[in-house]
Protein backbone atom coordinates (compact mmCIF):
# COMPACT_ATOMS: atom_id res chain seq x y z
CA UNK A 1 0.00 0.00 0.00
CA UNK A 2 3.10 2.22 -0.03
CA UNK A 3 2.58 4.44 -3.07
CA UNK A 4 5.96 5.10 -4.74
CA UNK A 5 7.13 8.30 -6.42
CA UNK A 6 5.71 8.75 -9.90
CA UNK A 7 2.39 6.98 -9.37
CA UNK A 8 0.52 10.13 -8.32
CA UNK A 9 0.61 13.39 -10.23
CA UNK A 10 1.13 16.79 -8.57
CA UNK A 11 -2.64 17.42 -8.57
CA UNK A 12 -2.96 14.54 -6.10
CA UNK A 13 0.27 14.23 -4.14
CA UNK A 14 0.66 17.98 -3.55
CA UNK A 15 -2.88 18.27 -2.19
CA UNK A 16 -2.35 15.36 0.21
CA UNK A 17 1.15 16.54 1.20
CA UNK A 18 -0.36 19.87 2.21
CA UNK A 19 -3.46 18.32 3.79
CA UNK A 20 -1.49 16.03 6.09
CA UNK A 21 0.27 18.95 7.83
CA UNK A 22 -2.82 20.35 9.64
CA UNK A 23 -3.86 16.78 10.45
CA UNK A 24 -0.49 16.20 12.15
CA UNK A 25 -0.88 19.54 13.93
CA UNK A 26 -4.32 18.65 15.29
CA UNK A 27 -3.00 15.20 16.24
CA UNK A 28 -0.20 16.78 18.26
CA UNK A 29 -2.67 19.06 20.06
CA UNK A 30 -5.00 16.14 20.83
CA UNK A 31 -2.19 13.86 22.00
CA UNK A 32 -0.78 16.62 24.20
CA UNK A 33 -4.10 16.63 26.09
CA UNK A 34 -4.37 12.88 26.55
CA UNK A 35 -0.96 11.23 26.58
CA UNK A 36 0.52 10.55 30.00
CA UNK A 37 4.24 10.33 30.58
CA UNK A 38 3.92 6.65 31.47
CA UNK A 39 2.37 5.96 28.06
CA UNK A 40 5.34 7.34 26.11
CA UNK A 41 7.18 3.99 25.97
CA UNK A 42 4.00 2.38 24.59
CA UNK A 43 3.81 5.01 21.85
CA UNK A 44 7.45 4.30 20.91
CA UNK A 45 6.80 0.58 21.01
CA UNK A 46 3.70 0.94 18.86
CA UNK A 47 5.50 2.96 16.19
CA UNK A 48 8.37 0.47 16.06
CA UNK A 49 5.92 -2.46 15.97
CA UNK A 50 4.06 -0.93 13.03
CA UNK A 51 7.34 -0.55 11.16
CA UNK A 52 8.44 -4.13 11.82
CA UNK A 53 5.21 -5.85 10.83
CA UNK A 54 5.21 -3.89 7.56
CA UNK A 55 8.48 -5.72 6.74
CA UNK A 56 6.67 -9.08 6.71
CA UNK A 57 5.59 -9.24 3.09
CA UNK A 58 2.94 -11.85 2.38
CA UNK A 59 2.49 -13.30 -1.13
CA UNK A 60 -0.89 -13.84 -2.77
CA UNK A 61 -2.02 -15.50 -5.99
CA UNK A 62 -0.95 -13.57 -9.06
CA UNK A 63 2.50 -12.71 -7.73
CA UNK A 64 1.50 -9.68 -5.67
CA UNK A 65 2.36 -9.10 -2.02
CA UNK A 66 1.12 -7.07 0.93
CA UNK A 67 1.50 -6.65 4.67
CA UNK A 68 -0.18 -5.71 7.91
CA UNK A 69 0.17 -2.19 9.39
CA UNK A 70 -0.94 -2.32 13.03
CA UNK A 71 -2.65 1.07 12.93
CA UNK A 72 -5.92 -0.01 14.54
CA UNK A 73 -4.06 -1.83 17.30
CA UNK A 74 -2.17 1.33 18.24
CA UNK A 75 -5.44 3.29 18.12
CA UNK A 76 -7.06 0.83 20.53
CA UNK A 77 -4.19 1.24 23.00
CA UNK A 78 -3.49 4.97 22.70
CA UNK A 79 -6.31 6.51 20.67
CA UNK A 80 -6.49 7.29 16.94
CA UNK A 81 -4.60 10.58 17.15
CA UNK A 82 -1.58 8.94 18.79
CA UNK A 83 -1.84 6.15 16.22
CA UNK A 84 -1.82 8.79 13.47
CA UNK A 85 1.47 10.20 14.75
CA UNK A 86 3.03 6.80 15.46
CA UNK A 87 2.28 5.31 12.04
CA UNK A 88 3.25 8.57 10.32
CA UNK A 89 6.69 8.44 11.95
CA UNK A 90 7.12 4.88 10.65
CA UNK A 91 5.96 5.81 7.12
CA UNK A 92 8.12 8.92 6.83
CA UNK A 93 11.18 6.98 8.01
CA UNK A 94 10.42 4.19 5.54
CA UNK A 95 10.29 6.69 2.68
CA UNK A 96 13.39 8.67 3.67
CA UNK A 97 15.71 5.88 4.79
CA UNK A 98 14.48 2.78 2.97
CA UNK A 99 12.77 4.12 -0.15
CA UNK A 100 9.56 2.26 0.79
CA UNK A 101 6.88 4.70 -0.35
CA UNK A 102 7.65 7.84 -2.31
CA UNK A 103 8.88 11.17 -1.01
CA UNK A 104 6.21 12.94 -3.03
CA UNK A 105 3.61 10.43 -1.80
CA UNK A 106 4.31 10.84 1.93
CA UNK A 107 1.06 12.77 2.35
CA UNK A 108 -0.96 10.13 0.48
CA UNK A 109 0.58 7.20 2.31
CA UNK A 110 0.11 8.86 5.69
CA UNK A 111 -3.46 9.83 4.79
CA UNK A 112 -4.29 6.23 3.89
CA UNK A 113 -2.44 4.27 6.56
CA UNK A 114 -2.02 6.79 9.41
CA UNK A 115 -5.34 8.61 9.20
CA UNK A 116 -8.04 6.55 7.48
CA UNK A 117 -6.91 3.19 8.85
CA UNK A 118 -6.62 4.02 12.57
CA UNK A 119 -9.68 6.29 12.69
CA UNK A 120 -11.99 3.94 10.78
CA UNK A 121 -10.62 0.92 12.61
CA UNK A 122 -10.85 2.53 16.05
CA UNK A 123 -14.42 3.79 15.75
CA UNK A 124 -15.64 0.50 14.30
CA UNK A 125 -13.92 -1.19 17.27
CA UNK A 126 -15.67 1.14 19.71
CA UNK A 127 -19.02 0.60 17.99
CA UNK A 128 -18.77 -3.20 18.06
CA UNK A 129 -17.19 -3.45 21.51
CA UNK A 130 -19.82 -1.30 23.21
CA UNK A 131 -19.41 0.49 26.51
CA UNK A 132 -18.86 -2.36 28.95
CA UNK A 133 -17.67 -5.35 26.94
CA UNK A 134 -15.96 -8.50 28.10
CA UNK A 135 -12.61 -9.45 26.65
CA UNK A 136 -14.15 -11.82 24.10
CA UNK A 137 -16.27 -9.06 22.64
CA UNK A 138 -13.29 -6.71 22.57
CA UNK A 139 -11.22 -9.26 20.70
CA UNK A 140 -13.97 -9.70 18.12
CA UNK A 141 -14.40 -5.91 17.85
CA UNK A 142 -10.66 -5.50 17.34
CA UNK A 143 -10.82 -7.98 14.47
CA UNK A 144 -13.76 -6.27 12.78
CA UNK A 145 -12.32 -2.79 13.28
CA UNK A 146 -8.86 -3.60 11.99
CA UNK A 147 -10.27 -5.43 8.96
CA UNK A 148 -12.58 -2.54 8.02
CA UNK A 149 -9.79 -0.03 8.62
CA UNK A 150 -7.43 -1.93 6.34
CA UNK A 151 -10.01 -2.23 3.53
CA UNK A 152 -10.93 1.45 3.84
CA UNK A 153 -7.28 2.51 3.53
CA UNK A 154 -6.76 0.22 0.54
CA UNK A 155 -9.87 1.64 -1.12
CA UNK A 156 -8.54 5.16 -0.67
CA UNK A 157 -5.24 4.14 -2.26
CA UNK A 158 -7.20 2.53 -5.12
CA UNK A 159 -9.09 5.78 -5.70
CA UNK A 160 -5.86 7.78 -5.68
CA UNK A 161 -4.36 5.40 -8.25
CA UNK A 162 -7.51 5.20 -10.33
CA UNK A 163 -8.12 8.91 -10.80
CA UNK A 164 -4.68 9.46 -12.33
CA UNK A 165 -5.61 8.46 -15.92
CA UNK A 166 -8.57 10.84 -15.67
CA UNK A 167 -6.70 13.93 -14.48
CA UNK A 168 -3.21 13.51 -15.94
CA UNK A 169 -2.67 12.24 -19.48
CA UNK A 170 -1.11 13.24 -22.78
CA UNK A 171 -3.04 14.71 -25.71
CA UNK A 172 -3.36 11.19 -27.08
CA UNK A 173 -4.81 9.93 -23.79
CA UNK A 174 -1.74 8.05 -22.58
CA UNK A 175 -1.57 8.21 -18.75
CA UNK A 176 1.27 10.20 -17.23
CA UNK A 177 1.23 8.47 -13.82
CA UNK A 178 -0.58 5.39 -12.43
CA UNK A 179 -1.98 3.81 -15.60
CA UNK A 180 -4.97 1.79 -14.43
CA UNK A 181 -8.45 3.40 -14.19
CA UNK A 182 -10.81 3.36 -11.21
CA UNK A 183 -12.59 0.26 -12.52
CA UNK A 184 -9.33 -1.66 -12.21
CA UNK A 185 -7.49 0.05 -9.35
CA UNK A 186 -10.26 0.01 -6.74
CA UNK A 187 -11.16 -3.69 -7.08
CA UNK A 188 -7.49 -4.63 -7.25
CA UNK A 189 -6.75 -2.88 -3.98
CA UNK A 190 -10.01 -3.76 -2.22
CA UNK A 191 -10.19 -7.45 -3.05
CA UNK A 192 -6.63 -8.35 -2.06
CA UNK A 193 -6.92 -6.43 1.19
CA UNK A 194 -10.40 -7.72 1.99
CA UNK A 195 -9.46 -11.35 1.41
CA UNK A 196 -5.84 -11.58 2.58
CA UNK A 197 -4.20 -8.54 4.15
CA UNK A 198 -7.28 -7.39 6.07
CA UNK A 199 -7.69 -10.80 7.73
CA UNK A 200 -3.95 -10.77 8.46
CA UNK A 201 -4.28 -7.35 10.11
CA UNK A 202 -7.32 -8.59 12.04
CA UNK A 203 -5.56 -11.76 13.23
CA UNK A 204 -2.55 -9.80 14.52
CA UNK A 205 -4.74 -7.19 16.22
CA UNK A 206 -6.98 -9.81 17.81
CA UNK A 207 -4.00 -11.84 18.99
CA UNK A 208 -2.28 -8.87 20.63
CA UNK A 209 -5.53 -7.63 22.21
CA UNK A 210 -6.18 -11.12 23.59
CA UNK A 211 -2.70 -11.31 25.12
CA UNK A 212 -2.86 -7.78 26.52
CA UNK A 213 -6.31 -8.41 27.95
CA UNK A 214 -4.96 -11.32 29.97
CA UNK A 215 -1.52 -9.89 30.82
CA UNK A 216 -2.27 -6.21 31.46
CA UNK A 217 -5.88 -5.21 30.83
CA UNK A 218 -5.10 -1.59 31.83
CA UNK A 219 -3.62 -1.12 28.37
CA UNK A 220 -7.01 -1.83 26.78
CA UNK A 221 -8.47 1.01 28.87
CA UNK A 222 -5.95 3.49 27.41
CA UNK A 223 -4.26 3.61 30.81
CA UNK A 224 -0.51 3.34 31.39
CA UNK A 225 0.78 -0.18 31.76
CA UNK A 226 0.28 -1.57 35.26
CA UNK A 227 3.22 -3.95 34.82
CA UNK A 228 6.70 -3.61 33.33
CA UNK A 229 6.51 -3.90 29.54
CA UNK A 230 9.67 -5.99 29.28
CA UNK A 231 7.73 -8.81 27.67
CA UNK A 232 6.39 -6.47 24.98
CA UNK A 233 9.89 -5.23 24.13
CA UNK A 234 11.03 -8.85 24.05
CA UNK A 235 8.23 -9.57 21.59
CA UNK A 236 9.41 -6.72 19.37
CA UNK A 237 12.94 -8.11 19.50
CA UNK A 238 11.69 -11.54 18.46
CA UNK A 239 9.76 -9.98 15.58
CA UNK A 240 12.90 -8.19 14.41
CA UNK A 241 14.83 -11.47 14.32
CA UNK A 242 12.04 -13.07 12.29
CA UNK A 243 11.81 -10.28 9.68
CA UNK A 244 13.81 -12.22 7.04
CA UNK A 245 10.63 -14.27 6.60
CA UNK A 246 9.38 -11.22 4.73
CA UNK A 247 12.02 -11.78 2.07
CA UNK A 248 10.47 -15.11 1.08
CA UNK A 249 7.74 -13.21 -0.79
CA UNK A 250 9.47 -12.22 -4.01
CA UNK A 251 6.53 -10.51 -5.77
CA UNK A 252 5.73 -6.81 -5.92
CA UNK A 253 2.75 -5.24 -4.24
CA UNK A 254 0.00 -3.97 -6.58
CA UNK A 255 0.78 -0.36 -7.47
CA UNK A 256 4.46 -0.60 -6.50
CA UNK A 257 5.94 -1.94 -9.74
CA UNK A 258 9.31 -0.85 -11.08
CA UNK A 259 9.61 0.99 -14.40
CA UNK A 260 10.93 -2.22 -15.96
CA UNK A 261 7.90 -4.19 -14.79
CA UNK A 262 5.51 -1.57 -16.13
CA UNK A 263 7.26 -1.43 -19.48
CA UNK A 264 7.05 -5.20 -19.77
CA UNK A 265 3.33 -5.08 -18.97
CA UNK A 266 2.18 -1.89 -20.73
CA UNK A 267 4.82 -1.52 -23.41
CA UNK A 268 5.70 1.94 -22.13
CA UNK A 269 6.58 3.78 -18.95
CA UNK A 270 4.25 6.72 -18.18
CA UNK A 271 6.21 9.95 -18.72
CA UNK A 272 5.40 11.49 -15.36
CA UNK A 273 6.34 8.30 -13.59
CA UNK A 274 9.67 8.19 -15.42
CA UNK A 275 10.33 11.80 -14.39
CA UNK A 276 9.50 11.37 -10.69
CA UNK A 277 10.54 7.76 -10.21
CA UNK A 278 14.17 8.52 -9.38
CA UNK A 279 13.61 11.69 -7.41
CA UNK A 280 14.95 10.22 -4.17
CA UNK A 281 17.80 7.83 -3.40
CA UNK A 282 17.40 6.18 -0.02
CA UNK A 283 20.39 5.24 2.12
CA UNK A 284 19.12 1.64 2.52
CA UNK A 285 16.85 1.00 -0.47
CA UNK A 286 14.55 -2.01 -0.06
CA UNK A 287 15.86 -2.52 3.49
CA UNK A 288 19.23 -3.67 2.13
CA UNK A 289 22.27 -1.91 3.67
CA UNK A 290 24.92 -1.80 0.96
CA UNK A 291 27.70 -2.67 3.40
CA UNK A 292 26.14 -6.05 4.23
CA UNK A 293 26.26 -8.73 1.56
CA UNK A 294 23.94 -11.27 3.16
CA UNK A 295 20.36 -10.11 2.41
CA UNK A 296 18.87 -11.81 5.47
CA UNK A 297 21.40 -10.24 7.83
CA UNK A 298 20.93 -6.92 6.06
CA UNK A 299 17.15 -7.15 6.52
CA UNK A 300 17.57 -7.68 10.27
CA UNK A 301 20.05 -4.79 10.48
CA UNK A 302 17.59 -2.57 8.61
CA UNK A 303 14.87 -3.60 11.07
CA UNK A 304 17.11 -2.75 14.05
CA UNK A 305 18.10 0.62 12.57
CA UNK A 306 14.52 1.44 11.62
CA UNK A 307 13.14 0.49 15.04
CA UNK A 308 15.85 2.53 16.79
CA UNK A 309 15.09 5.63 14.73
CA UNK A 310 11.32 5.29 14.74
CA UNK A 311 11.12 4.31 18.38
CA UNK A 312 13.47 7.12 19.30
CA UNK A 313 11.54 9.75 17.36
CA UNK A 314 8.21 8.53 18.75
CA UNK A 315 9.68 8.48 22.26
CA UNK A 316 11.02 12.03 21.89
CA UNK A 317 7.75 13.31 20.44
CA UNK A 318 5.81 11.55 23.17
CA UNK A 319 8.00 13.10 25.89
CA UNK A 320 7.48 16.50 24.30
CA UNK A 321 3.71 16.13 24.09
CA UNK A 322 2.88 14.17 27.23
CA UNK A 323 1.76 15.92 30.35
CA UNK A 324 3.39 15.26 33.68
CA UNK A 325 0.73 13.19 35.40
CA UNK A 326 2.08 9.72 36.03
CA UNK A 327 -0.65 8.63 38.40
CA UNK A 328 -1.86 5.91 36.08
CA UNK A 329 -5.44 7.14 35.85
CA UNK A 330 -7.23 7.08 32.54
CA UNK A 331 -6.52 10.01 30.30
CA UNK A 332 -9.64 11.72 28.98
CA UNK A 333 -10.14 10.74 25.37
CA UNK A 334 -11.48 13.46 23.14
CA UNK A 335 -11.92 11.33 20.01
Give pLDDT tens digits for 127-165: 999 886 789 999 999 999 999 999 999 999 999 999 999
The mean per-residue pLDDT over the stretch 250-264 comes to: 84
pLDDT at 115 over 80: yes
Residue 151 · residue 194 · CB < 8 Å: yes
Model confidence at 325, in pLDDT bands (50, 70, 90)? low
265-316 pLDDT tens trace:
889 999 999 999 889 999 999 999 999 999 999 999 999 999 999 999 999 9
pLDDT of residue 59: 84
pLDDT of residue 328: 47
pLDDT of residue 254: 86
Q: What is the DSSP letter of 112?
A: I
Distance of CA 324 to CAs 151, 182, 221, 228, Å? 37, 49, 19, 19
**In 3-state terms, the chain is what percent helix, strand and coil (to 5)?**
70, 0, 30
Mean confidence (pLDDT) of the chain: 92
Number of other residues whose CB lies within 10 A of the CB of residue 265 = 10
Residue 163's SS3 state is coil
156-182 pLDDT tens trace:
999 999 999 999 999 999 999 999 999
pLDDT of residue 63: 67
Amino acid sequence: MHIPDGYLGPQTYAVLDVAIIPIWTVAAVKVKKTLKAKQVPLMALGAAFSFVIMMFNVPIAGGSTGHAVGATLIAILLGPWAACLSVSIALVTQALLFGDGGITAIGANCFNMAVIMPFVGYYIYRLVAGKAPGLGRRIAAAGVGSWVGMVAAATAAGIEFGIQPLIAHTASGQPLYAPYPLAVAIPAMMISHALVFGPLEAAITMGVVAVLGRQDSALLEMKPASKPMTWLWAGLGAAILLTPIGLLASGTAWGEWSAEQLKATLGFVPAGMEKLGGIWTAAMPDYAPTFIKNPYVGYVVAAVVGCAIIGGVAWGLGKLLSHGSDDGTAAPHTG
